[in-house]
Amino acid sequence: MFFLFIGIIGILLKYLEIGPVATLDWWIVLIPFALAVVWWWWADSSGYTKKKEMEKMEKRRQDRIDKQRDAMGMLKKRK
């Protein structure tokens, strides 16, 4: 997401000819988009994305269980 943000800002600065970005070639301004593609490829192929998704689902599941236990008065403090 960071690379996309930087790429969009770069395109806007290049298109509007603001600052030193106006003198850069277009291929240099578009590099953050290529980096974003490489990042997504690595995250998907290494399992990073799936791992983060599983961690989020596990946290939601545990929060739901804790909320139900608290409603029944059975919640024990977790460390």
CA pair distance 14, 8, nearest whole angstrom: 10
pLDDT tens over the chain, length 79 residues: 899 999 999 999 999 999 999 999 999 999 999 999 999 999 888 988 788 889 999 999 999 988 888 888 876 665 5
Supply the range of the domain harboring residue 31: 1-46
Per the structure block, which two tokens stand in for 28?
A: 């240099």
Q: Please give the single-letter amino acid code of residue 45.
A: S
- On whether both 14 and 24 belong to a single domain, the answer is yes
CA pair distance 36, 30, nearest whole angstrom: 10
- On whether both 22 and 8 belong to a single domain, the answer is yes
Q: Which residues, at least 6 apart from 1, have a Cβ–Cβ distance to it below 8 Å?
A: none
How many folded domains does the chain comprise?
2
Structural contact between residues 10 and 23, judged by C-beta atoms closer than 8 angstroms: no
Q: Is the pTM of this model over 0.85?
A: no
- On whether both 56 and 41 belong to a single domain, the answer is no
- On whether both 67 and 36 belong to a single domain, the answer is no
